[in-house]
Amino acid sequence: MNDSFILRDRKWRETNERITLSSNAMLSENSKGRLSHEEHDEFRTIFERDRDRIIHSKAFRRLKHKTQVFINPDGDHFITRMTHTLNVTQVGRSISKTLGLNPDLTEAICLGHDVGHSPFGHTGEEILNEMHPNGWSHSENSVKIFSKIENLNLSVETIDGIEKHPWRYTEKPSTQEGMICRFADRIAYLSHDVEDALRANVIKISDIPNKITKELGTPGKQWINSLISGIFKASNSNELIMDSEIGEIMNELREFMFENVYLRKETNDQRKECKNIVQTLVEYFMENRNELPKNYIQSEDDIENSIDYVAGMTDRFAISTFGKIN
């Protein structure tokens, strides 16, 4: 054992990646770089710098006051968009390390995947998608935040993984680390959203189909371990996939959650109220362009600028601003 410090600079780290990571991994030294050229950091790899920039961004900071599932819940232990993001990152890193992929790129993608979410989660996303002439999605907004509004100048690979993390994209991410984020996102939200639903007494443990609990175990850590193991069982040298039986169980769980939690009738009035808040704010700032912060005036199109600003709001800031203009 060496009892002195060992200076592990960027070149040492890149060499270590080359020696220790899988041939499927995206090596830092093989990155396509950034949209705007920058000199390399002396100590950190390109993906480590991406990760650090995301963590220190304003958009990432705002996630702590954005909805995951339950809007403005009573209690301190409900998942927010921030804690969801941290859960996704932990799951993603576990998968990446075990399969010999690049954990730094995986972390960067996972940490940035949801920064573009609007207030009130997917409810806010729905109304913004209706209002925007070309449609609107949180993943594309994440890219816009990092590329224009805050302009972090992230690497091509990190941006690609963030943009294509939703499963609705038929085009897969260009890296295996990007595919990890797809799986980690679904594993994390299905696991912790069930716990939140149980905590809120929206469902009971007996409501969950026996097939799911028999295969995955008790909601929480056991579920995460079972779902991650399904990836380890099935992934091969050519493709990152999930075991077919576990994948089927995960899809059944997702259907159960949409029917009994995400889209349950009892929340219709609350969702309508949230959509009204978001729509009213967008319309207000379209008519009052002078009240927009300068960094949100990216276009001559008033609806584009207004949506950019409102989408960046936290739940509580949206509610507060709505109260002030009414």
Which residues partner with 80 through β-bridges? 67
Dist. CA 140–CA 35, nearest whole Å: 16
Q: Rg for the chain (alpha carbons), in Å?
A: 21
Mean pLDDT for the stretch of residues 109-116? 96
Q: Is the pLDDT of residue 88 over 60?
A: yes
Instruction: Report the sign of the C-alpha dihedral through residues 188, 191, 197, 198, in that order.
Output: negative
Q: What is the pLDDT of residue 70?
A: 57
Q: Check residues 279 and 221 and name the one with the higher pLDDT.
A: 279
Per-residue exposure over 315-326, b if at least 16 CB sit within 10 Å of its own CB, e if not: bebbbebbeeee
Render pLDDT for 176-187 as a digit per residue (tens, 0 to 9): 999 999 999 999
CA–chain centroid gap for 222, Å, is: 22
Q: Is the pLDDT of residue 237 over 80?
A: no
Q: Give Cβ neighbours of residue 107 (< 8 Å, ≥ 6 apart).
A: 47, 51, 89, 92, 93
- Residue 74: pLDDT band (50, 70, 90) is low
CATH class assigned to 38-265: mainly alpha
Q: Give Cβ neighbours of residue 133 (< 8 Å, ≥ 6 apart).
A: 303
The reported pTM is: 0.94
**CA-angle at 184, arms to 188 and 15, nearest 5°:** 140
Which residues partner with 34 through β-bridges? 155
DSSP 23-37: TTS--GGG---BSS-
Dist. CA 168–CA 228, nearest whole Å: 21
Q: What is the pLDDT of residue 283?
A: 97
3-state DSSP of 62-90: HHHHCECCCCCCCCCCCCEHHHHHHHHHH
Q: What is the pLDDT of residue 79?
A: 74
Q: What is the pLDDT of residue 267?
A: 76
Q: What is the pLDDT of residue 75?
A: 57
Which residues partner with 67 through β-bridges? 80
- Boundaries of every domain in the chain: 38-265
Tokens 């039986």, residue?
Answer: 245
Contact 148, 298 (CB under 8 A): yes
> To the nearest whole number, what is the mean pLDDT of the chain?
91
Render pLDDT for 129-158 as a digit per residue (tens, 0 to 9): 999 999 999 999 999 999 999 999 999 999
Render pLDDT for 261-309 as a digit per residue (tens, 0 to 9): 888 887 788 889 999 999 999 999 999 999 999 888 888 889 999 999 9
DSSP 116-177: TPPTTHHHHHHHHHHHSTT---HHHHHHHIIIIIS----BHHHHHHHHT-STT-SSPPSSHH
> Angle formed by the axes of helices 156-163 and 176-199, to 10°?
40
